[in-house]
Amino acid sequence: MIKFGWAETDITPKEKIALQGEFFERVTNEVETPLTVTALAIDADGDQTVFVSCDLVEIPYETLLDVRKKVKAPGLDPSKILISAVHIHNSYTMPAMIPFPYEQGRNSHKMFMEYKPAECVYVPEVTSDDCLSTDATEEYLSSAIAKTVETAWKNRAEGGYAAGFGRAAVGMNRRVCYSDGTAKMWGDADTATFTELEGGNDNGVEMLFIYNAEKKLTGVVANIACPAQVMEQRSIISSDYWGKVKILLREKYGKELFLLPLCAPAGDQCPRDLIRWVEPETPIKDPNVIRVNPKPRDADPSMFDVKGTWKIGRRVFNEIAMALEEVGEIKTDAVHRHVVEKLVLPLRRVTDAECAAAQQAIKDFFKGRTTLNYMDSAALYVYAGTILRHKLQEHNSTLPIEVQFVRLGDLAFASNPFELFLDYGNQIRARSAARQTFLLQLTNGSLGYLPTEKAEKHGHYSAYVSSGYVGHEAGALLVSESLDAINRLFDIF
């Protein structure tokens, strides 16, 4: 016997918020589609799991701990809660809570400001003083997530499940390689020095369909290797393409249907075709994305705008609908095992020479400067992050992380707290003992990018040491440990 419980909570802000996910400042209360938290509780075979999907950029580990403290659900082990972000860049800014004495990432701004001459004035593009504070945001969201978990657990009832699979063109590699051995995220491919995209993509869609005791569909779990970042350049609140998938599913299968979207490893993926480049409908601000005299292309609609979210939404919806037509047996019993593990990964290190060069670069940048803006912040990010990493490794040599592994019948689920490059996910899936393997990145923590060795050599954003905490050695260890854990769940040693 299996019991499933669903719940959804609307977390759409009713006031202005600062949007997270870009180097430039965005403040808004304009809503394109609502933001939600969705939970699926599974109670079977003497074990339990609660999957939570949030329309957020990330889930800091401290937010997870706060949720676990707040959850009041008799019989539920709070350690068996997995909270995932679909990495939407049009949602709340989460507080920068890092499990180390020296912070990096967003706090790199504080680092390079230490080098700023007194006469140099920071000029913000927008004023965010009237926005919801990050502390208030964390309290509100942790409470909303806890409430959603409690409701899902309370709603448990006997039911069944079936697995499905489809293919939808959503994620594509976003790192462009050049003949000089370098690469750039969002690099321009329309140049004679372009050689290839650094990696591949995965158009597979892992699906799990949940039914009640009368075999009526109650919800869909979908796992796609692409963040929800079509609208990332826009100053608007949006649930991106997943919001459109939900709208379309509810139009066909009923307003009570739940959707639990999960982002698979996609640290080097995006919803844009960098080969068949289609310009945004209106100008964007990121200098890395702006093209000079781009050629017109007959391809997708702009994947910077609402039309793009609907295009992807329809693609994903169509695959889900097709898979539902092909569902065979609905299983009402299954082996269910859930393990929580702590891994210790080696920090990616910075040399003294690299730190000194970063310090000098910041000093040189400020010579003769009287103003500083968001463009400057982006330019200095890599140097400030390098210095912070050097400080960090004075006291730490490893990074502790939490990972979770779940078996449901012949399905496996594996989590990690990174923006994990696709290759690592492919390695896990290819060698997994399960018939289908669902991979959940940015789950129970947010610890930056985990790039491949190839990306580290090529450089640029997402592969800089500033972009995360660990490198390819840790990636190999994560793959190995994940496979070992999955195999143990399937009694393969």
| Strands 81-85 and 47-54, bridge-based pairing | parallel
pLDDT-derived band at 446 (thresholds 50, 70, 90) equals: very high
The 175-178 sheet, strands edge to edge: 183-185, 175-178, 194-197
Same domain, 264 and 365: no
Q: What are the tens digits of pLDDT across the range 173-187? A: 999 999 999 999 999
Listed range (69-73, 108-112, 249-253, 423-427) with the worst mean pLDDT: 108-112
Same domain, 206 and 236: yes
User: Would the CA dihedral through 407, 67, 107, 240 be positive or negative?
Assistant: positive
Q: What are the tens digits of pLDDT across the range 20-32? A: 888 777 889 999 9
First to last CA, the chain: 28
Same domain, 214 and 337: yes
pLDDT-derived band at 103 (thresholds 50, 70, 90) equals: very low
pLDDT-derived band at 478 (thresholds 50, 70, 90) equals: very high
| Residue 8: both structure tokens together | 């959804």
Decide which of 391, 421, 453 is a domain's last residue. Answer: 391
| Strands 449-450 and 419-420, bridge-based pairing | parallel
Q: What is the CA radius of gyration of the chain?
A: 22
Which amino acid type is present at position 287? P
How far is the C-alpha of 398 from the C-alpha of 411, rounded, in Å? 31
Instruction: Report the percent of the chain where pLDDT is more than 90.
Output: 79
Q: What are the tens digits of pLDDT across the range 130-158? A: 777 878 899 999 999 999 999 999 999 99
Asked whether residue 104 carries a pLDDT value surpassing 50, the answer given is no
| Residue 174: both structure tokens together | 């976003």
Residue 382 has a pLDDT of 86
Let me know: does 249 contact 151? Beta carbons within 8 Å: no
User: Minimal CA–CA distance to 38: which of 196, 145, 117, 118?
Assistant: 145
Scanning the structure block, which residue is given the tokens 């977390």? 11
How far is the C-alpha of 355 from the C-alpha of 349, rounded, in Å? 10
Let me know: does 387 contact 111? Beta carbons within 8 Å: yes
What value does the mean pLDDT take over residues 234-254?
97
What value does the mean pLDDT take over residues 1-5?
97
Alpha-carbon dihedral angle through residues 351, 353, 354, 359, given to the nearest 10 degrees? 130
Residue 101 has a pLDDT of 39
Same domain, 114 and 218: no
Same domain, 34 and 96: yes
Cα distances (Å, whole numbers) of residue 139 to 36, 69, 325: 16, 12, 42
Query: In sequence order, which residues have a C-beta less than 8 Å from that of residue 260 and are 6 or more positions away?
Result: 38, 39, 40, 51, 53, 219, 220, 221, 222
What's the chain's average pLDDT?
93
Same domain, 361 and 481: no
Same domain, 153 and 286: yes
User: Minimal CA–CA distance to 156: which of 336, 35, 302, 329?
Assistant: 336
In the chain, the number of structural domains is: 2
Let me know: does 73 contact 147? Beta carbons within 8 Å: no
Let me know: does 32 contact 237? Beta carbons within 8 Å: yes
Asked whether residue 102 carries a pLDDT value surpassing 90, the answer given is no
Q: What are the tens digits of pLDDT across the range 287-344? A: 889 999 999 999 999 999 999 999 999 999 999 999 999 998 999 999 999 999 999 9
Same domain, 421 and 442: yes
Same domain, 237 and 308: yes
Q: What are the tens digits of pLDDT across the range 217-228? A: 999 999 999 999
Same domain, 280 and 327: yes
What value does the mean pLDDT take over residues 66-75?
97
User: Minimal CA–CA distance to 191: which of 182, 179, 200?
Assistant: 179
How far is the C-alpha of 352 from the C-alpha of 360, rounded, in Å? 12
Same domain, 251 and 369: no
Decide which of 327, 357, 391 is a domain's last residue. Answer: 391
User: Residue 360: in which H helix or E strand, if any?
Assistant: helix 352-366
How far is the C-alpha of 206 from the C-alpha of 222, rounded, in Å? 6
Scanning the structure block, which residue is given the tokens 């593990």? 341
Query: Which range marks the domain in which residue 360 is found?
Result: 105-124+349-391
Same domain, 411 and 369: no
Residue 100 has a pLDDT of 45
